[in-house]
Structure 1
Amino acid sequence: MILHPLSTQIVGSYAKPQWLARHQKMRALDGSWWRPEPEVLQEAKRDAVRLAIYEQERAGIDIVTDGEAQRAAWDRDFFGALSGVDIEHTEVAVVAAEEHHHHHRDETGWEEYSEIGRVKPIVTGPLQFQRSVATNEVLFAKSVARQPLKVAMAGPLSLSQQLVDRHYGDEEALILALAAALNMEMRALQAAGADILQIDEGSWHFDVDLARRVGQRAIARMVEGITVPTIVHVCYGYSIVYKEKSPSALYPEVLQLLSDCPVTGISLEYEQPSHTPDILSHCGNKHVLIGLLNLGDHEVESADHVASRLRAAFDVVPAERLHPCSDCGMWFLPRDVAYGKIKALVEGTRKARNHVEKTFTNVGALA
C-alpha cells in the first residue's frame, strides 16, 4: 500500500514561481495567467515542476505532486477535456456584496482574482469526454519524481458551480454527466502512472445541501474502474481568499458523508480552523490526510507543534490510517515559506513517529 503509515504529502499545488504566473489571474480562461512567451511556456512549466518535486523530495515528503505547475486553476483546466462547454462565450455570476466583502482579502490585485472567478463558461450541449487534460502532466512528473506521485483533479460538484447550464436544466443531471466524463480522465491518469488520485471537492463544504443530494452518487460514478488509492479533499477555501477560518458546524457532516463513499481516504483542513481531534471520528474507517500547515500566514510551524498535533490525533485515528498534509493548496506562498512549512511537516512527523513506533509489530513500515 502506497499510503503507508504517516505518509507525508501536500494537497496538490506547491509554491508557483512569480516568473511563471500572475497569481491574481489564476482563474483566467484566456491564458493570461502565464508570464512566459508561448514558445517557451512548456519549458517553463516543466522547470517549475522540477523545482516543486525537488523541494518536496529534498524536504523528505513521502508522496509528491508536480506542484500543479503545469496548470493554472485547480479546476478550470478540466473544461478543456469536454465537448459541450463554450469557453469563448461566458456569463458573469452575481455575488452578494456583503458575502464578497466578508470573505475577500483586501489586497492589491486580489479583487481581480475575485472578478475573474465570477466569469463562467456556458454548457451548450451534452458533456462528452474528448481528451485527457493531465496525461502529459503525469507522464512528465513521473519521469522526474523518485517518490510516488499523487495527482489531483477537480470534482463534479465543484466543476458544476463554475458553469452556467444552458443544456441540462437539472443540476443533478449536470453533475452526474461531469462525473462520467471525469471518470474517463481518472482512468487516463491511472494508465499514465499516477500512484494516487485525488478529487478536489470544495463545494461539498460550500453547498452541503447539494452534497447531500448528489455528492455520494457523483463520487461513486467518478471512481468506477479506478484501482489506485483515491482521496477526496474538502477544505474551507484558499487562505489567500478566506483569511478568517473558524470550525464549521457543517464540516463533520461533510466528513461523515465522505466516510460512506467508495474512496480510500479523506483529506481535510485542520490547522487553520483550529479543529480538535474529535472531528476526525467523522471520517469513519477511511485513511485521513490531516492538514497540519496553516497557509493563512507566513509563519513556519515548528516541528514540535506538528508532532504535538499529530500525537493528539492518534487518540482518534491510528497511525496506519493517518497522513500529515497541508491544509490546502500552497500555490500563492513565497517559496521559502512553503519549503519551511513542508520541512517542518516532515520533521514533526518524524518526532511523532518515534512516539508511536513501539506500538507497531512491523516497525519497518514506519521507516
Structure 2
Amino acid sequence: MTLISKRLPTTVVGSYPVVKGSGLLARMDPLKHAVETAVADQVAAGIDIISDGQVRGDMIRAFTSHLPGIRGSSVVGKVQPAQRPITLADTKYALSRHPKVKGILTGPSTLAHGLSIETTFYRNKDELVLDLAQALAVEASHLQDAGVALIQIDEPIFSTGAANIAVGREAVNAIAGRLRVPVCLHVCGNLTAVIDDVLRTNVAVFDFEFANNPQNLEVLSAKDLRGRMVGYGCVDSADPGVESVETIRKRIEAGVEVFSAEAMLLDPDCGMRMQTRDAAFGKLKNMVVAAGLVRAEYTD
C-alpha cells in the first residue's frame, strides 16, 4: 500500500490545540479559526498527511451529539446515522489547503463506553457498539467521497481492558469493509495484553504509541504484521516539552530496525489538544526534520 510517494511519511493522530478567533465571524462559528489555525500549522510544519485538527469538542461528544438515539451522555433509543455529515465540512476545508488529508472517527467501542444505556432497546454495550459502527460507516463514506487519503478509527479503549475487543474488532471491520480508502486503527497505551486481538483487525495501518510507551516496540517486534503498515508514534504527545530533533531521530531509527522504513508512517503518540500551540507546532516541526534525516539514510 502506498499512501504517499516517499519513505517515512509524516502525519498526525488528530487533535490540535484550540486557537479561537474573535469578531463577528467568530461569533457565527467560534471554532472556524481553530480549524484554520490547526490546518495552517500542520502545513507549515511540513506534515505529509494532515487532519482537520479535531477542534470541535472532545472525541466522544463530537460524534454522539449528532447521532439520533443519543441525548447528552445517554442512549435513549436506537442509534441511527447522523442526519447530515459530522466532520465533512472541516475535512473539506483541510483538503482545500493540502492534497493529503486523514479523516478521523472515534471508534464504536470508545463511543459506547462513554455513554450510559437508558433504553430497553439495547441489552448491553456490545449491541450498542455494532449500531454505532453502522452510524460511523455512513460518516466514513462521506469522508471517502470527499477524497481523504486515509480514514483513522480511534479506539483508545482497546488497551484498557474495559472493552470486548472481539466485538470492537467486528465493529471496526464493519466500517472498514465498506470502504475503498485505506483504514487505520489507532490504539494508544500499553499493548502487551491486547496486541494479538488488535492485530486481527482487518485494517491497512495500525497506529500505536512508541515514544511514551517504548515497550510497545518490543511487543511488536515479535509480531507478523502481514504486510500492514505501522503508524509509529515517535513524539510524546503527553510531554509539554518539545523533544529535540536528535531524540525523535533516535526513536525513528529504533522503529526502522524493527519494521523497515517502507512500513512506517510517522506521527505523534496521540492527539496534542492539551498542549500549547507553540509546543504542538514545535513537536510537529522537529518530527518532520527528524524524518527527513532518517529518510536520507535510506535513499538509494
Question: Fold conserved (TM > 0.5)?
Answer: yes
- TM superposition shift of 1:224: 2.6
* Paired letter, 2:94: A
CA RMSD of aligned residues (A): 2.1
Q: Distance in 2 between matches of 1:315 and 1:348?
A: 16
Matched, 1:343 2:297: no
5 Å-filtered alignment, 1:355-366, equals 355-358=297-300
* Paired letter, 2:293: K
Change (3 A) 1:357 1:42: farther
Structure 1 moving runs of 4+ over 3 Å:
36-39, 41-44
Identify the residue that residue 12 of structure 2 maps to in structure 1: 10
Q: Residue deviations 1:249-270, cap 9 Å, x none?
A: xx13433323221111011111
Identify the residue that residue 101 of structure 2 maps to in structure 1: 149
Aligned with 1:52 (options 38, 55, 61): 38
Structure 1: runs of 5 or more not aligned: 21-35, 88-120, 237-247, 359-367
Identify the residue that residue 311 of structure 1 maps to in structure 2: 253
Identify the residue that residue 234 of structure 1 maps to in structure 2: 187
> Do the aligned partners of 1:255 and 1:283 also contact (CA within 8 Å) in 2?
no
Matched, 1:175 2:129: yes
* Paired letter, 2:125: E
* Paired letter, 1:66: D
Q: Residue deviations 1:190-235, cap 9 Å, x none?
A: 1122221100101111226511x31221111122321111111111
- TM superposition shift of 1:336: 1.2
* Paired letter, 2:92: L
- TM superposition shift of 1:348: 0.7
Q: Residue deviations 1:149-203, cap 9 Å, x none?
A: 0121110000000111123012221111111111111111111222211001011
Q: Distance in 2 between matches of 1:183 and 1:44?
A: 28
Name the stretch that deviates more: 196-205 or 185-194: 185-194
Identify the residue that residue 73 of structure 1 maps to in structure 2: 58
5 Å-filtered alignment, 1:76-87, equals 76-87=61-72
> Do the aligned partners of 2:233 and 2:266 also contact (CA within 8 Å) in 1?
yes
Aligned with 2:202 (options 235, 240, 262): 262
Q: Distance in 1 between matches of 2:292 and 2:224?
A: 24
Identify the residue that residue 140 of structure 2 maps to in structure 1: 186
Identify the residue that residue 215 of structure 2 maps to in structure 1: 275
5 Å-filtered alignment, 1:24-103, equals 40-69=26-55, 71-87=56-72
Q: Distance in 1 between matches of 2:57 and 2:247?
A: 32
* Paired letter, 2:263: R
* Paired letter, 1:16: V
Among the aligned pairs, what percent are the same residue? 29
Aligned with 2:263 (options 321, 335, 348): 321
> Do the aligned partners of 1:138 and 1:193 also contact (CA within 8 Å) in 2?
no
* Paired letter, 1:261: T
* Paired letter, 1:233: H
Identify the residue that residue 293 of structure 1 maps to in structure 2: 235
> Do the aligned partners of 1:57 and 1:147 also contact (CA within 8 Å) in 2?
no
Flag the structure with larger Rg. 1
- TM superposition shift of 1:274: 2.9
TM-score with structure 2 setting the length:
0.90
- TM superposition shift of 1:123: 1.2
> Do the aligned partners of 2:35 and 2:90 also contact (CA within 8 Å) in 1?
no
**Alignment length, in residue pairs?**
293
Q: Distance in 2 between matches of 1:74 and 1:318?
A: 32
Secondary structure of the residue that 1:49 maps to in structure 2? helix
Secondary structure of the residue that 1:333 maps to in structure 2? coil
> Do the aligned partners of 1:183 and 1:224 also contact (CA within 8 Å) in 2?
no
Q: Distance in 2 between matches of 1:38 and 1:156?
A: 37
Q: Distance in 2 between matches of 1:154 and 1:41?
A: 27
Matched, 1:158 2:110: yes
Change (3 A) 1:41 1:3: farther
